[in-house]
Amino acid sequence: MHRALAKVLELPASRIRVIACPNGGGFGGKSDPFGHEIVVAKLAMVTGRPVKVTLTREEVFYCHRGRHPTLMWVRTGVDETGRIKGMHFRTLLDGGAYGSYGVASAYYTGALQTVTYPVDRYRFQGARAFTNKAPCGPKRGHGTPQPRFALEVHLDRIAEDLGKDPAALRLEHLVPANSVTANYLKVGSMGLGPCIRKVVEGSGWADKFRRLPHGRGIGLACGSYLSGAGLPIYWNNLPHSGVQLKLDRGGGVAVLCGSTDIGQGSDSILAYIVAEILGVEVPDIHVITADTDLTPVDLGSYSSRVTLMSGNAAVQAAERAREVLARHTATKLDIPADRLAFAECRVFDAENPETGLSFAEAVQTAEAAEGTLVTVGSYTPPPSPGRYRGAGVGPSPAYSYSAAIAEVEVDPGTGVVTVPRIWIAHDVGRCINPVTVMGQVEGSVYMGLGEALMEEMAYRSNRRMVHRIPSMLDYKSPTTLEMCDVVTYLVEDPDPNGPFGAKEVGQGPLLPVPPAIANAVYDAVGVRIDEVPITPEKVLKALKDKERGREGRFGPTGFPNIPWPDPTRVPPPWESGDGRAISGERASTPPGAGGVRSSPHRLTGEPAGGSVPEERQH
């Protein structure tokens, strides 16, 4: 916002102050600077008066950046032993009228398929079309829930073709921890296995899958998401996040950080981290965030980056403060600094706990010696091994993992799907604030449920493309009556790149929910709904088709012929690749062959998807 205002108002950034007010409901739709945000500033300058703009719900529908409707096509190579070998993925995104972060969104529809189940070779083709609709952008999950839907439904079909349990199939194909994927994403901790086992056990999967009576079903799906994008949102070589700590001689600690709490509770994370390291109580911490006059820059609340990035900056600043306090306390107590412990608002000799100072006394001691006490921390993600064009989308310091099992009831007379319960396990690395972590998981389930069953941006094609239903009455999202019971398991597999091992939780748990529901609908009534939302009319139509001996499926039947550019070929790490594209082979790849070694593998060309495919090949 600060940058956009400086640019548009043609004022030096140093003459502009932006203070983020307490707000909620980010979800990516507000990532772009909006026209009205600039307009209020300009209008206030012109009139010399405070200015407020309030949008109608309809205006919000037109200006926010929603999820890209995406048509997908996927083909997976499986060898005779049931081993997944290669994957070819195509996406076509409906971008709406503006760019937003659409280029990144398009890349994201191809980026994270590889971090859950390993493939020897991977090929991705994606395109984003401008259309005369409201613009789409980085909505919660940013370009990854769509391909995740396709991939997880596709895997359900592959498992059925192979006669395998879908949970077992996934457990046999887990990306190993501390590895590099075919598209050069560096995976650190990887807790998907425990996640799958938790939900399988908790839901009674073994007794239910393919065993429930007609009309009731159970389905499994998984997902993974970034804990912050590896590259900055605008090109620069500065830290992605910064924290300044100010120690008060009364024992208080002020934490200043540019990060914006958009309701997810990121301010609390800063407080907990600093309190933990300095051994003080949370009420002694004063968090001041998102004020360009006071706080160091943090790139923003997007890509699930705040806990990891501003958290790491806070860790660094707090450790530096502890070091200063330890040095002067050690001198005063005449013991080695490395014997000092920080806990219970005291700095004391770990071998002799009675010997020590209160935290405030420690601050005073250091301030007497050095003057005002301020420390700083900043964070820049580690470099990614990918060096090819497009490798900038997908890298992250750490990946979160989740697995969900949905139980559904389908009324075969109406096609109405209800979801009584979802079991979900999320590998968050480490819970810093378990209440907000649970909140993010449950909120993700809620949002995923709405996307799976009802939410849809619909337009009147006969009337100048107005939004068909721009109101909260007509744009349907679940009420408390539709919301399912949620059984949440938090898996803690600490990641060396996260503060105290923490990874993201704000977006990842949404990903497995829609495909788990789609797979459960298939288990319940034997029809594939390859398009969300899974509405009653789609289910009923598929059921009727099946009754009449046709394919029991509802979804797209084709993928348009797109004049793709020549592929960039990057040998994977195990083919002595170095992350760079190799030239020379770019023009020679026959269409359709890239990525899947065709000869030794049976191709189960299962089209499946969030809107999926055609082209069946066996």
Question: Which residues of this protein are in contact with another protein, per CB under 8 A?
Answer: 54-56, 58, 413-415, 454, 460, 462-464, 466-471, 473-474, 476, 478-482, 535-537, 540
Question: Considering the complex, what minimum distance in angstroms separates the CB of residue 525 from another protein?
Answer: 15
AA letter at 548: R
Closest Cα partner for 288 from 84, 22, 95?
Answer: 22
Question: Considering the complex, what minimum distance in angstroms separates the CB of residue 459 from another protein?
Answer: 12
**Residue number, 58 or 172, with CB nearest to another protein:** 58
Contact 495, 431 (CB under 8 A): no
**Residue number, 446 or 559, with CB nearest to another protein:** 446
What is the DSSP pairing of strand 179-180 with strand 186-187? antiparallel
Residue 174 carries which DSSP code? P
Cβ contacts of residue 163 below 8 Å, gap of 6+? none
Question: Considering the complex, what minimum distance in angstroms separates the CB of residue 467 from another protein?
Answer: 8
Which tokens go with 427? 């590998």
Closest Cα partner for 158 from 514, 608, 598?
Answer: 608
Question: Considering the complex, what minimum distance in angstroms separates the CB of residue 18 from another protein?
Answer: 24
Question: Considering the complex, what minimum distance in angstroms separates the CB of residue 447 from another protein?
Answer: 15
**Residue number, 49 or 464, with CB nearest to another protein:** 464
**Residue number, 464 or 618, with CB nearest to another protein:** 464
Q: For 148-170, give one letter per residue: b (16+ CB within 10 A) or e.
A: bbbbbbbbbbbbbebeebbbebb
* CA atoms of 486 and 516, how far apart (whole Å): 13
- Cα separation of the two ends of the chain: 52
**Residue number, 56 or 352, with CB nearest to another protein:** 56
Virtual CA dihedral for 387, 124, 98, 260, nearest 10 degrees?
Answer: -60
Question: Considering the complex, what minimum distance in angstroms separates the CB of residue 62 from another protein?
Answer: 10
* CA atoms of 542 and 554, how far apart (whole Å): 6
**Residue number, 93 or 453, with CB nearest to another protein:** 453
* CA atoms of 291 and 588, how far apart (whole Å): 53
Q: How far is CA 107 from CA 183, 191, 326, 598, in A?
A: 12, 25, 47, 25
**Residue number, 243 or 539, with CB nearest to another protein:** 539
Cβ contacts of residue 588 below 8 Å, gap of 6+? none
> Tokens 């971090």, residue?
115
Question: Considering the complex, what minimum distance in angstroms separates the CB of residue 465 from another protein?
Answer: 10
Contact 520, 407 (CB under 8 A): yes
Instruction: Tell me the CB-side half-sphere exposure of residue 296, using CA atoms within 13 A.
Output: 22
Cβ contacts of residue 405 below 8 Å, gap of 6+? 199, 200, 202, 203, 205, 218, 219, 220, 422, 423, 424, 516
**Residue number, 283 or 413, with CB nearest to another protein:** 413
Question: Considering the complex, what minimum distance in angstroms separates the CB of residue 547 from another protein?
Answer: 13
Cβ contacts of residue 176 below 8 Å, gap of 6+? 118, 187, 190
Question: Considering the complex, what minimum distance in angstroms separates the CB of residue 70 from another protein?
Answer: 22
**Residue number, 61 or 184, with CB nearest to another protein:** 61
SS3 label, residue 26:
coil
**Residue number, 298 or 451, with CB nearest to another protein:** 451
Which tokens go with 510? 């949404």
**Residue number, 21 or 587, with CB nearest to another protein:** 21
C-alpha 338 chain-centroid distance:
39
**Residue number, 214 or 460, with CB nearest to another protein:** 460
C-alpha 613 chain-centroid distance:
25
Question: Considering the complex, what minimum distance in angstroms separates the CB of residue 531 from another protein?
Answer: 14
Question: Considering the complex, what minimum distance in angstroms separates the CB of residue 213 from another protein?
Answer: 19
**Residue number, 135 or 251, with CB nearest to another protein:** 135
**Residue number, 21 or 481, with CB nearest to another protein:** 481
SS3 label, residue 89:
strand
Q: For 341-365, give one letter per residue: b (16+ CB within 10 A) or e.
A: ebeebbbbbeeeeeebbebbbbbbb
Question: Considering the complex, what minimum distance in angstroms separates the CB of residue 34 from another protein?
Answer: 16
Question: Considering the complex, what minimum distance in angstroms separates the CB of residue 481 from another protein?
Answer: 3
Question: Considering the complex, what minimum distance in angstroms separates the CB of residue 470 from another protein?
Answer: 7
